[in-house]
Copies of this chain bind each other. A is one copy, B any other.
Amino acid sequence: MEIQGVDRSYRLLSECNQVLLLAHDENQLFQEICRVVVDIGYRFAWVGFIENDEVQTVIPVAQGGHGEGYLEDLRIELTDPERWRGPTGMAIHSGKPQIVRNIASDPNYTPWRNSANQRAYASSIALPLKIEGGASGALNIYADEIDAFDNCELALLTKLADNLSYGIMSLRARADQKKVREELEESVKNLRNSLDGAVKALSAAGEKRDPYTADHQKRVSEIAQGIATIMGLTQKEIKSIVIAGLLHDIGKMSIPLDILNKPRALTEIEMALVKTHSQNGFEIVQLIPFKEPVAEIVLQHHERIDGSGYPFGLTINDIIPAARILAVADVVEAISSLRPYRQSLGVDKALVEILQNKGILYDEEVVNACLKFFDKK
């Protein structure tokens, strides 16, 4: 050995801390520690932890140096009347470091003496590793000289073992953090799916009632998405328009089908009833605390930029942009689809309507984007 005693232990502590600082994986950490211990001049080192079996066997997890099969028939069992008195067992049992000054004469070393002699282990120290309170393992170091571990070395090696224990706990905490994070990510994914499903269910619920408008909301949602994408809205804004599209007519729930599907012109009072669906829809959708103003889009989807719409007769600057998009998508889909009271008028007729009223009823930019959308299709 080049360096001795305190110097050796001191350097060992420093190198081990270096290893601990960079550690990412528990098993690799133990291997590295054993390697460093042996590099510094000790003959053999190993780390073992108690197995949660009936006899509480200490299972080696890493070793370095002149082991030459020493660990193979170690059989340290904490429930064994003789074997638990060995240094490793005692270290774990008592939580205190155990020094064997002379392996050749220590009475507690009897079960392993021959094996140790064969490998020129003369003295040893077993340092308890305390994970979450109690000691559950030990770092075991063997020297080829008698009495290799004095008080100063004991102090430094104890510190080393404490650091190692701390390092293990910190690695486990990091692994736990990672697991928690993965679980949270999984929850977010599942909840997002459920929320999307709930929006679909709400949309489907309305359409279950009125098969004539089945898929109207879905198609409006798709057209509005196309317009919003061409207009360069953010992903979040587009998502909120898609959802608002799927739900915009949910408020029709409270209007009798007889009126909704009436094959003649509506009376003034019937029309007033139909117009309540924006407000009704708002009241239903606002029960869902979306971050984006989905309920407001539903509320305003029949407003027109010249103030001729309902329920409030808002003018362009008071209508949120997403509602101006939904308004155009809704009109285009309605005109181009079959209704109970008339045939489909076709997409062309629908586009003529929005073009004729561009800048009057409908937002100019939205109409342009809508024309582009159908042009592409």
Contacts and interface: CB of A to CB of B under 8 A. Distances in A.
Contacts of A197: 287-289
22 contacts: A17-B18, A17-B21, A22-B166, A181-B181, A184-B185, A191-B194, A191-B195, A193-B289, A194-B289, A194-B290, A195-B198, A198-B198, A198-B287, A201-B287, A202-B205, A204-B284, A205-B205, A205-B284, A208-B253, A208-B254, A208-B280, A208-B284
B167 A21 contact: yes
A289 B192 CA distance: 10
A158 to B, nearest CB: 13
Interface string A282-301: 01110111110000000000
Given A14-B17, A177-B177, A184-B187, 13 more contacts: A17-B20, A18-B163, A177-B181, A181-B181, A188-B188, A191-B192, A191-B194, A197-B287, A197-B288, A197-B289, A201-B285, A201-B287, A208-B283
Contacts of A181: 177, 180-181, 184
Nearest to A197: B288
A103 B118 CA distance: 60
Interface residues of A, number: 53
B20 A21 contact: yes
A13 interface: yes
A349 interface: no
A202 B195 contact: no
Contact of A14 (B10, B194, B195, B202): B10
Q: How many identical subunits does the complex contain?
A: 2
Interface of A: 10-11, 13-14, 17-18, 20-22, 159, 163, 166-167, 174, 177, 180-181, 184-185, 187-188, 190-195, 197-202, 204-206, 208-209, 250-251, 253-254, 256-257, 280, 283-285, 287-291
A302 to B, nearest CB: 18
A299 to B, nearest CB: 14
The 7 closest A-B pairs by CB, nearest first: A198-B198, A14-B14, A17-B17, A191-B191, A197-B288, A184-B184, A201-B287
A190 B287 contact: no
Contacts of A251: 208
Which of A22, A195, A206 gathers most chain B CB within 10 Å?
A195
Contact of A184 (B21, B188, B193, B253): B188
Which of A190, A197, A208, A257 gathers most chain B CB within 10 Å?
A208
Which of A10, A198, A283 gathers most chain B CB within 10 Å?
A198
A280 B254 CA distance: 19
Which of A18, A159, A167, A201 gathers most chain B CB within 10 Å?
A201
A280 B201 CA distance: 11
